[in-house]
Structure 1
Amino acid sequence: RDEIRIGDLAQNPDTGNLELREYLPGDSYPDNPYRVDPDRGHGDPRLRPWYIKAKQAGRPLWSDAYIFLGTGDNPNVPGVTYATPFYHEDGSFMGVMTADIDLLSLCGYFNEMRRSRDEQAVPQGPTSAVAFVMDGTKDSHVIAFHDIEQIMRKNPDDPSSWELIPGEELTETGLKGFYENVIEGDVQIPDEGPTEIDYTISGIAYTGLFQKLRGADMPNWLIGVTIEENEYMGRIHAILRETFLWGFLCLAAGIVVSVFVSRRISQPLQMLSMEAQAIGVGKLDEVEERRFPIREVDSLFRAKEEMKKGLRSFEKFVPRELVRELLASGREAELGGERAYLTVAFADIVNFTSISELMPPEEVVKMLSRFHGILYQSISETHGTIDKYIGDAVMSFWGAPVENPDHAFGACLAALHAQARLAEERKRIKDSSAPPIHCRIGINTGDLVVGNMGIPDRLSYTVIGDSVNLASRLEGLNRYYGTDIIVSENTYRAVSDRLIARKLDRVYVKGKTQGVFVYQLIGEKGKVEEKTLRDLQRYEEALEKYLDRSWEDSIRILEELQKGHPNDKSILLLLSRCCKFMEEAPD
């Protein structure tokens, strides 16, 4: 507000000279000027080109860049004028009203932008890229540049005044080459869209990108940027060349507008822009509560936070990776699926029905929350996706929606971690009334269909197929063999170089004509005791004897193992089967 002043030039009745009188907005115009400057009244504005042209044209127009009349504080200010003629009611000419735009602030903005860019360029050194605004006429001047001394000088005919340097006398290499090739050259300057130009001056190759200032009655200005080819070609691939120059053009094109926008508006809008980009890639973290003095900006900020709350709630019902993928792609979720080779796991609580019947509903919910929390931690840290909660059971899969070629290992590792955490949980609640939680897990790897299933108005991101059914049946087999983790042969083959498993049996499942081997997952290689490894090897020897119908040899090995593992149901099961077949061999 303090910088807004009203000025007029009027003839002093005593001296007959024009004098500049200035007023503050609150003063009584024209009787109470706060300053009178008789020394600055020598420039009659009616002789200025903008006054004459506006009067002749009879319409608003932009002037060429020139040195303002100024004041005693700052008499040498480059700028442009938007002049509008106005008339009496009878149509006779009254005068010209102007809006003067100071170009020093625009030059300062260019300088700050270049200084910031040079600081970021360390250790590469200062950049050769320069942004500028140039008059597009043949009698061209540079209107705005980061170094004011490159475009403005003392008037040779009047050292007390200043003038803009003509285009043909420019000394800055990039600008001079641009002027010679574009303004004086044969380059066609389109009214719409940017234009790229390559040129060489003083043996240095440059690339420039420029565009006309668009809009009705806008001045004939070119907004552009030039840069040495060696600079950007040495730092980026050729495929990024256009992107690099477009970035500079976007910065330069936004300068003319942003110089005249209050920081009280631009800063919160920039913050909102960054938040919107973060939301676009799925970053929904809460930010510090803020209030903004501009009501519309404050409303935008509040609405953005409400949107993030809604998206965070949405992530609790569907896989987080799926939400982030949809946000990043900009696509709406659609019905459909695709074939994929993934790993699926089912897990549920042992004897859940019996346990829950003896507990109040509130305690059942707490127990399920502890169980689901442990599984969620183990699944998420191995990049798995929880498909759904089915009562006490949890269905999950690995390899989608984010591709993961090591999905089988991730699933197995999640199962081992979950069992380890459940064991720690049982120790923690040992002395409490809470029931201990034991879990059975089945894992299978195979071809299936993954995608959005359901109806167009109600979708569920899930997996379907025989491989899913097999994983569910493997989970149930744990009850039969007394194990806690059973994996399929496909899964074991994918992880056998890193994990230890016991070949448990060959089973026949519904929908399969051939038997499939199943494995009990034991642990990671290097973390399993030698005795356990020897017992696993002996069990697999007994299983091979059993499959070869060498019942006696198998019984002998199993009886030895039973002494050290009297409660191992898988040993007892295979032993009883061998004894039965000793009496009556199968077909």
Structure 2
Amino acid sequence: MPRLRLSFTVTLLTAFALIFTLGVAAVVLVFRATGGEVAVATAERSLAQAAQLVAARSRALLRPVLTTTGVLPDFHPLAEATTPGQSDVAALLRILAVEPAVQGVSVGFTDGTLRQVLRFAALAPEVTRPAGPPIGTSFVLRESEGDPAGGPRREHWIFLGDDLLPIGERRFTGTAGDPRDAPWYRQARGPGAVRVSPLYDLPLLGRPGLSVSNALPSGGVLALDITLEGLSAFLATQRVSPNATLFLFDADGILLAHQDPTRAVQRLGEGATARTTWLALPNAADPLLRAFWTAYASAALRPGEDARLSLAGQPILVRMEPVIDIAGPPLLAVVAAPLDDFTAPVLDGVRRGTFFALGALAIGLAGITLLAWRVGRPLGRLTREAEAIRRLELDNPLRLDSRITEVQRLGGAMAAMKAALANFAAYVPHDLVRQLVSTGEAARLGGDRRPLTVMFTDVEGFTTLAEALEPEEVMRLTSAYFEALTTRLLADHATIDKYIGDAVMALWNAPRREPRHAAQACLAALRARQVSLELEAEFVVRGWPALHTRFGVHTGEAVVGNIGSSDRLSYTAIGTMVNLASRLEGLNKFYGTGILISEATRRGAGTAFLCRPVDLVLPKGARRPIEIFELLGLAEPAPEDAALAVASSIRAGLDGWAAAVAEYRAGRFAAALAGIEALPADGADPLRATYVTRLRTLLADPPPQGWSPVIGFNDK
């Protein structure tokens, strides 16, 4: 005969229905009366704080540049410079070093000579540069002189590295104009009178900006070029409300920065005559910007005061703050947001609060009722089980028996959920499952950008090996292989992204943060290679073919998160750096190596690992050459990693190898060949053989002038 089970819901609601009704009604009435007023007051405070923050950030960007431009002409080398000379270069470079907002510094002399120091990374891709800038260029020292006979201007570009030392130079004739015709030169009115130009396309930078200039006491003009992309990026990070708009403009109606950078500029013309210019508010496509300008131009809006606009019948809260007064139209920061952004959640909260209040009162009252002893113990058990599930402790099955129907059903549902999570965790990274369970957040599409280290592994000649075996045998072989390899990678904090045939994609620093992800990935690669070698011996004993594994490791920024559709998600990393890690794994076939890592990974891993340089390569799909290294082992392995030590003969030859590779990259092939052949040999070394063959070919058939050591690959 089944035992009587009481309904917890029916018992609780019957006993305390009147108390629930009175309590909830009081809460809802008070909330409805005060919620709207609080929402509007909060909205006004939020807008004021956001506008003040934007204004302060704008001041922080512009004020140091104005100050620098005002005092630098009195600096001795510049104050006495009447013709271009080397004495002012250090002062110009120092500006770029201490002012990240400054992209270029120009000195125009009275004879038409122009001296500039520019950030190399800031130059527009479409700008015609001297061919073949040296690798590692960080700054460009440019000197442009006019031809007294009226011919083309003479250009002299000196390329500087991070240490500010020259690494190359080019001389050519160009089409640049006379600096005395530039806006920043013409606007200078005398020493000490700092002027800010109108916004225009900055020469060589290929994007709009402004120039802050000052006349030199001895003649000529000093100018600092700045762009405002950083301010637009800052605006994009501010979240005042779901539909808030943040922008910066000057009193002439020019939109300088917008949280959506594409709305702050417009493209004029086509082809070679196309140019980008900043947008005027009266011509903006956004109706909010036009409505704002109309109200501002009519003095309906004033800086430092809260105001409202009406747009399509919807009230808009607006706050405007002054940024800085300069020699030109003053700059102002604006934050605008629909009033509904703040009041709608309150009204929605009233509706939801009614149900939340019912639940909260029910739980609170149930604790002091006669039924507390009947539900206390099983609920405590369920609570402990829920905490265990949060920790992803899913091994022990849940057994719960209660006379209360809801508790019994909840126990059954939790047991089923525990079993389902155990199965789910077999397909999804454990750290990801633990994160979803502990936070209670729903998995949704999207991800975040973060630095990652990605590893790809592949089995050499697996397709040929698999064709010689029955499918069942292939399944047993790959299962044993993946079990051993995956266990090793997981022990080294890897997240297994996916299995691709015989390949494995693993990543570090997601979803769990791992500060030393590059070093962890390198250590995992060495240990996984050791596991692979042990498996080769074991497989031979079983009568299986040996599976020789190759590894590729790269470190860089990628977007990691959930992709797919609303009913089927996959946690993975997306970005060019992922493809590059795969390309590195494939390059092992060309060099005969086992583990290839990128320069970014080697730098991030630190000095605990021994590597040797392999090549400068341009893999398929890559835009820039990268340096790759062969990961050999640990510099000082712990006792448990003694097998990861590097042979003494190889360790002794690392400096000689690096020197020989440097000779090769410098084009001194004979010295490189002699250096490699002088190194001690320790068995077969495919990479050494590759270099010997390459160098002998280059010596027999020297390359043309302008040869580059970068090797391009068109295959994956």
Scaled by the length of structure 2, the TM-score of the pair is 0.45
Deviations 1:289-311 (A, max 9, x none): 53525263443322211111111
Query: Are 2:663 and 1:545 aligned?
Result: yes
- The aligned residue for residue 69 of structure 2 is none
Query: Are 2:384 and 1:313 aligned?
Result: no
Aligned residues of 1:347 and 1:475 also touching (Cα < 8 A): yes
Query: Which of 578, 581, 586 is the matching residue for 2:698?
Result: 581
Query: Are 2:640 and 1:531 aligned?
Result: no
Q: Distance in 1 between matches of 2:469 and 2:430?
A: 33
Query: Are 2:667 and 1:558 aligned?
Result: no
Q: 1:337 to 1:270 in 2, by over 3 A?
A: same
Using the TM superposition, give the Cα deviation of residue 473 of structure 1 relative to its aligned residue in structure 2, in angstroms: 0.5
Q: Distance in 2 between matches of 1:430 and 1:278?
A: 43
Letter in 2 for 1:286: D
Using the TM superposition, give the Cα deviation of residue 407 of structure 1 relative to its aligned residue in structure 2, in angstroms: 0.9
SS at match of 2:678: helix
Q: How does 1:154-303 map to 2 (within 5 A)?
A: 257=367, 260-261=370-371, 263=373, 265-279=375-389, 281-288=390-397, 290-292=399-401, 294=403, 296=405, 297-303=407-413
Query: Are 2:491 and 1:381 aligned?
Result: yes
Unaligned runs of 5+ in 2: 1-14, 16-25, 29-359, 638-644, 705-716
Letter in 1 for 2:479: S
Q: 1:525 to 1:259 in 2, by over 3 A?
A: farther
Query: Are 2:432 and 1:322 aligned?
Result: yes
Query: Which of 366, 370, 373 is the matching residue for 2:480?
Result: 370
Deviations 1:339-377 (A, max 9, x none): 211111100111100110111111111221122222222
Query: Which of 590, 593, 602 is the matching residue for 1:492?
Result: 602
Higher-RCO chain (CA-CA 8 Å, sequence separation at least 6): 2
Query: Are 2:546 and 1:436 aligned?
Result: yes
Q: 1:257 to 1:578 in 2, by over 3 A?
A: closer
Deviations 1:502-561 (A, max 9, x none): 111221223445432111111112133432211232222221121122212221232234
Query: Are 2:512 and 1:395 aligned?
Result: no
Figure out how many residues of one structure are paired with residues of the other and give that number.
Answer: 340
Q: 1:513 to 1:332 in 2, by over 3 A?
A: closer
Q: 1:288 to 1:453 in 2, by over 3 A?
A: closer
Q: Distance in 2 between matches of 1:290 and 1:338?
A: 40
Deviations 1:391-411 (A, max 9, x none): 111111111111111111111
Aligned residues of 2:519 and 2:606 also touching (Cα < 8 A): no
SS at match of 1:338: strand
Aligned residues of 1:344 and 1:468 also touching (Cα < 8 A): yes
SS at match of 2:510: coil
Aligned residues of 1:378 and 1:415 also touching (Cα < 8 A): no
Using the TM superposition, give the Cα deviation of residue 258 of structure 1 relative to its aligned residue in structure 2, in angstroms: 5.2
Deviations 1:47-85 (A, max 9, x none): xxxxxxxxxxxxxxxxxxxxxxxxxxxxxxxxxxx9xxx
- The aligned residue for residue 565 of structure 2 is 455
Q: Distance in 2 between matches of 1:435 and 1:490?
A: 35
- The aligned residue for residue 333 of structure 1 is 443
Letter in 1 for 2:445: L
Aligned residues of 1:284 and 1:311 also touching (Cα < 8 A): no
Letter in 2 for 1:583: A
SS at match of 2:541: coil
Q: 1:278 to 1:337 in 2, by over 3 A?
A: same
Q: 1:309 to 1:470 in 2, by over 3 A?
A: same
Query: Which of 344, 348, 355 is the matching residue for 2:458?
Result: 348
Q: Distance in 1 between matches of 2:692 and 2:542?
A: 39
Q: How does 1:6-155 map to 2 (within 5 A)?
A: none
Q: Distance in 2 between matches of 1:451 and 1:256?
A: 41
- The aligned residue for residue 43 of structure 1 is none
Q: 1:290 to 1:334 in 2, by over 3 A?
A: closer
Aligned residues of 1:347 and 1:440 also touching (Cα < 8 A): yes
Aligned residues of 2:429 and 2:497 also touching (Cα < 8 A): yes
SS at match of 2:614: strand
Using the TM superposition, give the Cα deviation of residue 256 of structure 1 relative to its aligned residue in structure 2, in angstroms: 8.5
Query: Are 2:467 and 1:357 aligned?
Result: yes
Unaligned runs of 5+ in 1: 1-81, 83-190, 194-249
Aligned residues of 1:343 and 1:407 also touching (Cα < 8 A): yes
Letter in 2 for 1:464: I
Q: Distance in 2 between matches of 1:514 and 1:271?
A: 59
Aligned residues of 2:400 and 2:408 also touching (Cα < 8 A): yes
Q: Distance in 2 between matches of 1:564 and 1:322?
A: 47
Structure showing greater radius of gyration is 1
SS at match of 1:526: coil
Q: Distance in 2 between matches of 1:254 and 1:317?
A: 40
Using the TM superposition, give the Cα deviation of residue 468 of structure 1 relative to its aligned residue in structure 2, in angstroms: 0.7
Using the TM superposition, give the Cα deviation of residue 255 of structure 1 relative to its aligned residue in structure 2, in angstroms: 9.8
Q: Distance in 2 between matches of 1:517 and 1:548?
A: 15
- The aligned residue for residue 570 of structure 1 is 687
Q: Distance in 2 between matches of 1:389 and 1:525?
A: 31
Query: Are 2:583 and 1:465 aligned?
Result: no
Q: Distance in 1 between matches of 2:580 and 2:397?
A: 48
- The aligned residue for residue 537 of structure 2 is 427
Letter in 2 for 1:551: F
SS at match of 2:438: helix
Using the TM superposition, give the Cα deviation of residue 566 of structure 1 relative to its aligned residue in structure 2, in angstroms: 5.2
Letter in 2 for 1:570: L
- The aligned residue for residue 626 of structure 2 is 516
SS at match of 2:451: strand
Letter in 2 for 1:440: R
Q: Distance in 2 between matches of 1:454 and 1:255?
A: 45
Q: Distance in 2 between matches of 1:401 and 1:291?
A: 34
Q: 1:518 to 1:274 in 2, by over 3 A?
A: same
Aligned residues of 1:504 and 1:540 also touching (Cα < 8 A): no
Letter in 2 for 1:556: A
Letter in 2 for 1:547: R
SS at match of 2:533: helix
Q: 1:277 to 1:475 in 2, by over 3 A?
A: same
SS at match of 1:353: helix
- The aligned residue for residue 518 of structure 2 is 408
Q: Distance in 1 between matches of 2:678 and 2:662?
A: 16
SS at match of 2:654: helix
Q: Distance in 1 between matches of 2:483 and 2:530?
A: 14
SS at match of 1:450: strand
Between the aligned residues of both structures, percent identity stands at 36
Deviations 1:218-261 (A, max 9, x none): xxxxxxxxxxxxxxxxxxxxxxxxxxxxxxxx9xx969945734
Using the TM superposition, give the Cα deviation of residue 277 of structure 1 relative to its aligned residue in structure 2, in angstroms: 3.0
Q: 1:553 to 1:433 in 2, by over 3 A?
A: same
SS at match of 1:494: helix
Q: Distance in 1 between matches of 2:568 and 2:394?
A: 27
Using the TM superposition, give the Cα deviation of residue 337 of structure 1 relative to its aligned residue in structure 2, in angstroms: 2.2
Using the TM superposition, give the Cα deviation of residue 475 of structure 1 relative to its aligned residue in structure 2, in angstroms: 0.1
